[in-house]
Structure 1
């Protein structure tokens, strides 16, 4: 019985140590799984972020996971941001997902490739408040096949001291 108690206590201490060592400055980290690995125009990634300190700078990322069977070397997306009390702004982005020789640029694990791609870097929100962030695929194919999931990550930059 003491050996079992020792193993349980050791397991708990290791988990506490691992989880307490993880520090993140993410304001939002949203992923949407695509049904049957097909990203349709209607499957928008939407999150609302509450910016309390608009004097800080932030980094905003588009996250994408696709299979090796994805047939393009790039992806086009539409990014929309609605500021508090203002109209929505939309911008189109293109991201390279493969090099000229066809090698995927994202981190691979088996048949799945993960990319974290910058949308806005060192960005200052104009005012505090709730901002709605939306990403949708903007390729000609609808649905876009072999997309596992897509997401949005907003991170506060560390201040330089």
Structure 2
């Protein structure tokens, strides 16, 4: 009797049980030419219902190994329910000289999930809109595949 299929099913169930995902929202914009023009300002819309929990908010960047910089400057605009839009310029570090790329790599593609809230935040009930705009000197910015937003509930 072959025990491999039983072992694989058991391992799969164990992994599913271990994945206690707390993500609320994650979406990425794709740049077809692998370059991000400053005129491209992807919007990310999501709704919050749970106002008891706290959340971490991340910017997600995917780029090729040929990306020429250790960082990326972004204008991030946040429209929260019943508030005026808030714009902030962020310098997101993608690499350092000692370790290389700080994200997770597969082949020549690297993913970065960078926390943009200093600590978990409470969010109001309602609709949120995040807008990302690259603010680098090089325009269009080559070797950028995707940019996005990820919102996660913090663990109690």
TM-score when normalising by structure 2: 0.84
For structure 1, list consecutive stretches of 5 or more residues without a partner in the other structure: 1-6
Aligned residues: 154
Task: Give yes or no for contact 1:64–1:150 (8 Å, CA) kept in 2.
Answer: yes
Q: Does 26-35 or 93-102 show the bigger shift?
A: 93-102
For structure 2, list consecutive stretches of 5 or more residues without a partner in the other structure: none
Establish whether residue 88 from structure 1 lines up as the match of residue 85 from structure 2. yes
State how 1:56-67 maps to structure 2 within 5 Å: 56-67=53-64
Structure number with the higher helix fraction is: 1
Structure 1 match to 2:100: 103
User: 1:140 is matched with which residue: 117, 127, 137?
Assistant: 137
Structure 1 match to 2:75: 78
TM-score when normalising by structure 1: 0.81
Larger Rg: 1
Secondary structure of 2:33 counterpart:
helix
Measured in 1, the distance between the counterparts of 2:17 and 2:38 equals: 39
| Distance apart, 1:131 and its partner CA | 1.2
Segments of 4+ in structure 1 off by > 4 A? 12-16, 18-21
Measured in 1, the distance between the counterparts of 2:103 and 2:12 equals: 31
Task: Give yes or no for contact 1:45–1:152 (8 Å, CA) kept in 2.
Answer: no
Task: Give yes or no for contact 2:37–2:141 (8 Å, CA) kept in 1.
Answer: yes
| Distance apart, 1:72 and its partner CA | 1.0
Q: Does 56-65 or 22-31 show the bigger shift?
A: 22-31
Q: Considering only aligned residues, what root-mean-square deviation do their CA atoms show, in Å?
A: 2.5
Task: Give yes or no for contact 2:44–2:148 (8 Å, CA) kept in 1.
Answer: no
